[in-house]
Amino acid sequence: MDEKTFKERTRKFAIAVVELVESLPRTRTAEVLGKQLLRAGTSVGANYRAACRGRSLVDVVAKLGIVEEEADECIYWMELLSDSGVVPSDRLAVLKKEANEIVAMTVASIKTLRSRRTQTDQAAA
């Protein structure tokens, strides 16, 4: 997947998170969990954009690590929303699937970049 497509995908993910959080019931639990999900879900795309502007391979990998962490954190908050009975799990299925795919693609990108760095280091030696 190219950079432009992934930027758009993470932006759509953030919008879906915003819509979910706005639809949550007005309870203390939903508010707390929703705020956490909102923060993590909107930071996925923001951190990916930052990674795209990384100054070095090491910088890009580090920033992609943040993307991975935030997307995985989204899964955690969605699990808590579901497990606590705030939101039915079937309502979260599509969004959780997207978060899992974002994590998987980010991990694959990190592995590829680390491999390139290793190859570059070996060629320089």
pLDDT tens for each residue of 66-122: 999 999 999 999 999 999 999 999 999 999 999 999 999 999 999 999 998 676 666
User: Dihedral, CA atoms, 80, 84, 89, 92, nearest 10 degrees?
Assistant: -40
Mean pLDDT of all residues belonging to the chain: 95
Confidence band of 125 (pLDDT split at 50, 70, 90): low
User: Does position 59 have pLDDT exceeding 70, yes or no?
Assistant: yes
Task: Mention the CATH class of domain 3-124.
Answer: mainly alpha
Annotated domain spans of the chain? 3-124
Per cent of the chain over pLDDT 70 is: 93
89-124 vs 57-83: helix axis angle to the nearest 10? 160
At 1 the pLDDT is 84
At 45 the pLDDT is 98
User: How far apart are alpha carbons 105 and 99 in whole angstroms?
Assistant: 10
The pTM (predicted TM-score) of the whole model is 0.91
